[in-house]
């Protein structure tokens, strides 16, 4: 009787309701097991709009991508930051930002420092840091272990993670005053990975004290960013400098709260970029024809010979040159299409009728989540022919970016959404694409790369479906060696 009383009744005008029998959990397990199959089954049964009870939340899924633009129009009634304010504080351990309205506004303003003119300084700094870490760790600069004449082997995910994590960290947060690298980066990455493994459970609302040593791990990560520590760092990006200033002006924030905010940005900046770099490189190495085409484009744009002498001074790639790498960008977008499972969520601020198009309207209740699940669109054969297949030039037409994709004969406004959409779209997306390009450029210039034979293909780990770029279920091995100069 208690279970029955706790269940919600569907009201007139509301979408079909699917809530399961288990209190709080609802349909979370079915969704977590295979989100795509679950949503597809319900779409076939109930149409393009239905509400599912998942982990204590009523989520109305909008499945038809032609309806997505109508959701973006409801900026006032459907709020993204309400969702961030519900989830981020418990996940990262800081007090809800909504309690500090002024600070919330300044935090939003800080995102501008990841874009526009500010992107130039970030991109230049990233190139220097990426190259420094790569040259020291893989080319033996500064006494590191040099890649020998022959092949070296390693885990591809670990390789991508070690390079991108550290280079991104240095670019955003800066380096120690008297050294160009932080000595404890491996430990930081280790703790980050442990925390990241628990991330889906935290976001699902599982209390941190139920998750073993996760709280202690999070405390270590937060301590890394305590203000007195960060004061000793130089070459910090304007983005992080401004955020530190905002936090300093707020007497209500403790040093631990400030550290927790900086840690949240670390998660936002590498949590997706590292797996995205992995998939971008993985697909290229697996398809040598694609890899050759991208390498040729790179050398054409850089106007230097097919192979760079690794002992030459640093490779310089300007922001303009990065923009000219259209085939590389298409290849990155294709790997994002295949690996991203971000869910875009908005919280209804009031009871209202959501007009989806001329014919369709649904009643929505205050506090309900409206969810877009772009992975379904990314894998729709009507929009992308052979959606399971990696085609590096899928987003190119007549040598330029292809933007025409159709559903039921109508051109789609949104057809690629790994970075979210509308008012909540990722503010770091331009920086992210640039850094993945820089990463690929460096590797394509310096290294020959192949997958080791006799291993299974990398599989997507669905345990974080809805939360961004999926990780591989396990690492895959690859081999690499220095390319020889051709002239
Ligand atoms: C938010 C994806 C890289 C900073 C988001 C969202 C997505 C996303 C899906 C939520 C958007 C929504 O729900 O509509 C990605 C992917 C990346 C990436 C796929 C890499 C491939 C970065 C980087 C940074 C960054 C490098 C920072 C340097 C942020 C921030 C937010 C965010 C701060 C929250 C924005 C807000 O609260 O309004 N990202 N992101 N992201 N991302 Fe990214």
pLDDT at 306: 57
| The pLDDT value given to residue 171 | 98
ipTM value of the model?
Answer: 0.98
137 CA distance to ligand 1 centroid (A)? 28
User: Model confidence over 430-446: pLDDT tens digits?
Assistant: 999 999 999 999 999 98
pLDDT band at residue 313 using 50, 70 and 90 as cut-offs: low
Percent of the chain with pLDDT over 70: 94
Kindly state the average pLDDT of the residues 395-421. 96
Q: What is the pLDDT of residue 23?
A: 76
pLDDT of residue 148: 60
Q: Which atom of ligand 1 is nearest to the CA of 418?
A: 19
Direct distance between the N- and C-terminal alpha carbons of the chain, in angstroms, rounded to an integer = 81
Mean of all residue pLDDT scores within the chain: 91
For 335-476, strand residue ranges (E) read 340-342, 344-348, 352-355, 361-364, 369-372, 396-397, 400-401, 406-407, 410-411, 447-451, 467-469
Task: Locate the ligand 1 atom nearest the alpha carbon of residue 421 and give its number.
Answer: 14
Residue 85 β-bridge partners: none
pLDDT recorded at residue 430? 97
C-alpha of residue 429 to centroid of ligand 1, in Å: 7
Higher pLDDT, 4 or 418: 418
- pLDDT band with cut points at 50, 70 and 90 for residue 2: very low
> CA separation (Å) from 372 to 19, 70, 345, 350, 381?
18, 12, 7, 19, 18
For residue 443, how far is its CA from the centre of ligand 1 (angstroms)?
25
Residue nearest to atom 32 of ligand 1 (CA): 426
Confidence band, pLDDT 50/70/90 cuts, at residue 41: very high
Closest CA to 215 of 237, 191, 240, 184: 191
470 CB near ligand 1 (under 6 Å)? no
Q: Where are the beta strands (DSSP E) in 197-266?
A: 233-234
- Whether 418 lines ligand 1, by a CB cut-off of 6 Å, is yes
pLDDT in tens, 102-113: 888 899 899 999
Per-residue pLDDT at 204 exceeds 60? yes
Residue 464 alpha carbon to ligand 1 centre in Å: 15
* Ligand 1 center from residue 313 Cα (angstroms): 33
Q: Give which of 468, 420, 371, 353 is closest to 59, Cα–Cα.
A: 371
- 23 vs 431, residue with greater confidence: 431
pLDDT above 60: residue 307? no
Atom of ligand 1 nearest to the CA of 342: 9
Tell me the CA–centroid distance for residue 427 and ligand 1, in Å: 6
User: 366: phi > 0 → left, psi -120 to 50 → alpha, else beta; which?
Assistant: beta
Could you tell me the two tokens for 417? 């959404």
Measure the CA angle with vertex 172, ends 168 and 174; round to 5°. Answer: 100
Residue with tokens 């393009």: 48
Residue 240: CB within 6 Å of ligand 1? no
Task: List beta partners, residue 363.
Answer: 353
419 within ligand 1 shell (Cβ under 6 A): yes
pLDDT at 1: 44
Residue 290 vs residue 307, higher pLDDT: 290
Nearest Cα neighbor of 114 from 447, 477, 432, 456 is 432
pLDDT for 248 beyond 90: yes
Q: Given a cut of 80, is residue 45 above it in pLDDT?
A: yes
* CA-closest candidate to residue 23, choices 56, 49, 51, 48: 56
CB 421 near ligand 1, within 6 Å: yes
Compute the distance from residue 284 Cα to the ligand 1 centre, in Å.
24
144 pLDDT more than 60: no
Does pLDDT of 454 surpass 60? Answer: yes
How does pLDDT run across 319-363, given as a tens digit for each residue? 899 999 999 999 999 999 999 999 999 999 999 999 998 888 999
């Amino acid at each position: 009787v208690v279970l029955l009383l706790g269940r919600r009744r569907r009201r007139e005008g509301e979408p079909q309701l699917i809530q399961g029998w288990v209190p709080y959990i609802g349909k979370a397990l079915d969704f977590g097991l295979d989100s795509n199959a679950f949503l597809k089954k319900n779409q076939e049964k109930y149409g393009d709009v239905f509400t599912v009870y998942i982990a204590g939340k009523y989520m109305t899924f909008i499945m038809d991508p032609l309806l997505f633009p109508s959701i973006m129009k409801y900026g006032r009634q459907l709020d993204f930051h309400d969702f961030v304010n519900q989830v981020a504080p418990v996940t990262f351990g800081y007090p809800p930002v909504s309690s500090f309205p002024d600070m919330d506004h300044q935090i939003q303003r800080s995102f501008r420092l990841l874009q526009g003119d500010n992107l130039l300084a970030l991109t230049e700094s990233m190139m220097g840091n990426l190259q420094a870490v790569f040259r020291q760790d893989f080319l033996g600069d500064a006494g590191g272990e040099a890649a020998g004449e022959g092949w070296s082997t390693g885990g591809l995910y670990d390789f991508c993670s070690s390079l991108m994590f550290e280079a991104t960290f240095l670019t955003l947060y800066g380096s120690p005053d008297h050294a160009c690298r932080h000595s404890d980066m491996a430990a930081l990455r280790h703790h980050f990975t442990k925390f990241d493994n628990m991330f889906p459970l935290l976001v699902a609302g599982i209390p941190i004290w139920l998750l073993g040593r996760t709280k202690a791990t999070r405390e270590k990560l937060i301590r890394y960013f305590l203000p007195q520590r960060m004061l000793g760092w130089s070459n910090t990006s304007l983005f992080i400098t401004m955020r530190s200033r905002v936090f300093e002006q707020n007497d209500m924030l403790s040093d631990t709260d400030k550290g927790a905010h900086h840690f949240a940005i670390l998660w936002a900046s590498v949590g997706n970029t590292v797996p995205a770099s992995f998939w971008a490189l993985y697909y290229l190495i697996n398809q040598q024809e694609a890899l050759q085409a991208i390498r040729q484009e790179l050398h054409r744009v850089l106007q230097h010979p097919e192979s760079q002498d690794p002992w030459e001074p640093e490779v310089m790639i300007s922001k303009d040159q990065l923009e000219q790498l259209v085939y590389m960008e298409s290849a990155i977008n294709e790997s994002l299409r295949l690996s991203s499972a971000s869910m875009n969520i908005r919280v209804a601020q009031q009871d209202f009728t959501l007009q989806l198009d001329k014919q369709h309207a649904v009643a929505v209740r205050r506090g309900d989540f409206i969810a877009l699940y772009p992975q379904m669109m990314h894998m729709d054969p009507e929009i992308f022919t052979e959606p399971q297949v990696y085609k590096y030039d899928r987003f190119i037409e007549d040598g330029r970016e292809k933007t025409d994709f159709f559903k039921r004969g109508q051109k789609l406004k949104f057809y690629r959404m790994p970075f979210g959409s509308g008012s909540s779209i990722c503010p770091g997306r331009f920086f992210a694409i640039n850094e993945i390009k820089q990463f690929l450029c460096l590797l394509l210039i310096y290294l020959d790369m192949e997958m080791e034979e006799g291993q299974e293909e990398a599989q997507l780990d669905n345990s974080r479906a809805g939360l961004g770029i999926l990780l591989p279920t396990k690492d895959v091995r690859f081999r690499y060696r220095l390319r020889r100069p051709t002239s």
